[in-house]
Amino acid sequence: MRHFGFVLIICVAFIEISNGAAFAQGTVDPSPERLVFPTEKGQKGFEEWVGLEKGSGPWADYYKPTPLHMYWSPKNHYIRPDLSAFKDLFDEYASGDCMGCHEDVTPGIVMSWKSSAHAKPRKSAKFAEKTRAIEETSGIKIEQVTCSFCHGESHDELFLPVADDVCKKCHRQQVEEFASEIADGRPSHRASWISNVVVPWYVEGFRRGEGYSFIGCDQCHPAMERCDGCHTRHKFSADEARRPEACYSCHMGADHPDAETYSESKMGVIYAMEGDTWAFDKGLNDLDLGGPEMRAPTCQICHMYNNTSGKWGHNVTSKGRWRMGTFPPVQVEYKSSMKDYPYGITIPPLNKKIDLYDGENKRKLERWLEVCNNCHSGRFARLWFEALDEYMFAAYRKRDEAQLLVEECFEKGWIDVNARAPYPMGDVLADKLGIKLLGEGVFKALKMSKGKIPVVGPILGVYANFRHDDGNPSQIETEYGNMWFWYALKGYKGVAHGQQDYAWWWGWAPMVNQLSRIKSQHDMLERVYNIEAKLGIGLGGK
C-alpha cells in the first residue's frame, strides 16, 4: 500500500482530464473475424472507438457517455490512463514486470490471477488435458496466460479485452456459442449493451443531464462480450460461473426477480442445503443430474441447455418462449390497442406478438421438457408449463383491461398531452427512424405532434418507470407501468421458478391492486373533467 498516494493522484488526474482533452485510443489490432458483431452496422455502432466524445449505437451523436462507459463498452469508449504520476514506479520496476508493480498498486487483481487456471494451466491432470486441447486447436503454446496476452505488451498499447479480440483465441467454441444468441434477438446476453443504449428514455436522460441516473442499468447491461459478467476478473473461473450466484447480481429485482424466486424455490433451497458438495468442477455436459453430483437444477442447468444442439453451452436464450414476458401473446383476445400491436413498427424485437404454440415455440417447449425430465415426470413438467402459459394469458387480460382504461383518459381528453413534455426523444424519433421502421401510423403521429403522443403498455410504455419530464408520465400511466412491468413480471418469474409467494403475493395480488388504483384514477379524472366542464374552466371548459 506504499504507493497509495500515486493511485489517488492518477484518479484525480483522470477526473480532471476526462472533462477536457482525450487520451490516446485504447484499442488492440482487432481480429478481422467478428462473431459477436458480424455486420458492418453493428461494428460501427458498438465496436468503433469514439472515446468519450460520442455514445454507442444508433443514438451515438445524441449523447456523451459518462467516464465509466470506458469499462461498460471498452471497444467504443476505453481511454488509456495518463500514467505520468507513476513515473517513480516505472523507474523502480523493470519494463514488463506487470506482477511486481501491480502487487503494490492493485494487489487484489494479482491474487485473483494467481488462483486462476490462467496462472496454473496445468494445475491438475484435467486442466493439463484442457490446456493441451486448447494448444492444439489454437496453435498457441501456453505456459501461462499473463497480463500481456489480454492487455497488451505495454501501457502504450493497453487495452481491455473482449471476446472477439482475446478470449476467442483460446475459447473459440464458447465465443461461437455466445455469439449464436444473435439468432434469438433481444433480450439476450449478447445484446445486453444494445438493449441498454438504444431505448429512447436512456438517451433522453443524458439529454436532460441525468446520465448518471442510469448507473444501475449500465452495471447489468455492459457489453457482455467481455465474458467477465459470469467469469469474474481476474480468476475467470468456470466453477464459479456454474453456480447460481454468478447470475444473481443482475438477474434480480423488480422486473426480473430470478435470484429471489430461484433461491426461495425448492430447487434453490436444496442448492442452499447441499450445493457445497456438488460437482461444480465438472462441465455441465458431464454431470450426473439428479444424483449426488447435482440433486436439483441451477440457473445454468435450465437455461444453458441449447434448443438446437440438445447440449449445454454458452447460449442462454435459445429456448426463450415468453421473451421476459414483455411482448403480447397472440393467444389473448384484446380490447385495448394491444389488439393492433406492433402498430406497424418493424424494429425487432418490437415487430410482432408472441405465438406460444407456433412450430418454433413447440420445439422449444420439448427441449425444456427434456431438461425437466431429469427430475420430474413428463406429465408433471408439461402441466407446469401449461400452468405458466395460462397464468400469463390471464395476466395479459388484466393488463388489457387496465390499458383500455388508460387509453380512454387520452381519447376523452382528460389528460392534456400538449401541456407536458413529449415522449422521450419524441421530437426527433420520426426523422431519425423514418416511416419504414416506425410504420406509417406511428411515424405520422410522431411527426405531426413532435412527439406529444401518449405511449402506454408493452413495451415502449415502460418509459414510465424511467422518466418523469414536465408532467410526463401522469400518475395513471405510472401505475399502469408498475402493473405490467413490475408486478405481472414478478408473478411470471414466481410461476416459472416454482416460488409460490412471488406468484401470488408479489405478483398477482399487487397486479390486481394496481388495476384498482388505475380504475380509481380513471374515475377521478373523469369526474374532474366533468366538473371543470360545468364550471367552464380547465380541460373540461375548453
What was the pLDDT predicted at 542?
82
Phi, psi torsion values for 85, nearest 5 degrees: -70, -15
Percent pLDDT > 70 in the chain is: 95
CA–CA distance, 47 with 63 (Å, rounded to integer): 17
pLDDT digits (tens, 9 = 90+) for 121-148: 999 999 999 999 999 999 999 999 999 9
CA–CA distance, 53 with 60 (Å, rounded to integer): 9
CA–CA distance, 179 with 37 (Å, rounded to integer): 8
Q: Please, which residues have CB within 8 angstroms of residue 68's CB and are 6 or more apart in sequence?
A: 215, 218
The answer on pLDDT for 486 being more than 90 is yes
The stretch 295-321 carries a mean pLDDT of 96
Cell of 47: 465496436
Name the pLDDT band for 28 (thresholds 50, 70, 90).
Answer: low
Q: Structure pTM? A: 0.93
Residue ranges in 359-471 assigned as alpha helix (H)? 359-372, 378-411, 429-438, 440-449
The stretch 259-284 carries a mean pLDDT of 98
The stretch 99-115 carries a mean pLDDT of 94
- Please tell me what DSSP assigns to residue 237: -
The stretch 310-325 carries a mean pLDDT of 96
The answer on pLDDT for 10 being more than 90 is no
Angle at 428 between CA 353 and CA 409, to 5 degrees: 60
Residue with cell string 434448443: 307
What was the pLDDT predicted at 27?
53
* Residue 425: strand, helix, or coil: coil
pLDDT digits (tens, 9 = 90+) for 450-485: 999 999 998 999 999 999 999 999 999 999 999 999
The stretch 405-426 carries a mean pLDDT of 97
pLDDT digits (tens, 9 = 90+) for 68-98: 999 999 999 999 988 888 888 888 887 778 9
The mean pLDDT of the chain is: 92
What was the pLDDT predicted at 4?
34
The answer on pLDDT for 24 being more than 50 is no
pLDDT digits (tens, 9 = 90+) for 377-405: 999 999 999 999 999 999 999 999 999 99
